[in-house]
Amino acid sequence: MNRLLIIGPPGAGKGTQAVKIAEELKIPAISTGDIFRKNIKEETELGKEAKSYIDSGNLVPDSVTNNMVRARLDEADVAHGFLLDGYPRNIAQVHELDAILADKNQQIDRVLLLVADNDELVARLLNRAAEQGRTDDNEEVIRHRLKVYEEETAPLIAKYRERGIVKEVDGLGEIADVTERILKALS
């Protein structure tokens, strides 16, 4: 069974790789950002609740995010596996995901940890910001995001390492090469 998480710093290519790996394994790639947008667009109760927080400039609480993920993982297309991108983001969400899966007698099989040198990531993100005209993404902001990522995800990664399910993969290089390294790590 392929119940997977993909974790990595900003700029490591998680979104790109999630789609490629999911296609290869014939499982859905589930991005929390996509779940939020879908619920908001479809004006579900959870979508309306999330939108009220977003519109007021606040973070959507874990309870709403957890409920959206739970609903998504109840859909038929995840019966043979899934690849989660962007969830869990904290230890409380790790416990909630464990509970969601335990209700189905399931668990996470593998955590794909994309690793990359911070200086390389800064260069990659500055280049992407220039290409997309994102003036708010300067080196100071990017380095801060990388620091926040390290602080927030270190406990998650440690928790999954304890379970022996983390596979580290070099996230730098050509997209196809990274995809190949991930697939090799999963085999």
Which residues does the annotation mark as catalytic?
14, 89, 128, 134, 145
Q: Determine the Cα–Cα distance for residues 136 and 124; give it in Å rounded to an integer.
A: 15
Supply angle C-alpha 169, 31, 150, rounded to 5. 50
**What does each C-alpha distance from 40 to 34, 56, 79, 180 come to in angstroms?**
10, 15, 25, 35
Give the residue from 172, 180, 164 showing the smallest Cα distance to 108. Answer: 164
Q: Outline where 42-117 has alpha helix (H).
A: 45-55, 62-73, 91-102
Count of C-beta atoms within a 10 Å radius of residue 130: 11
Q: Determine the Cα–Cα distance for residues 18 and 10; give it in Å rounded to an integer.
A: 14
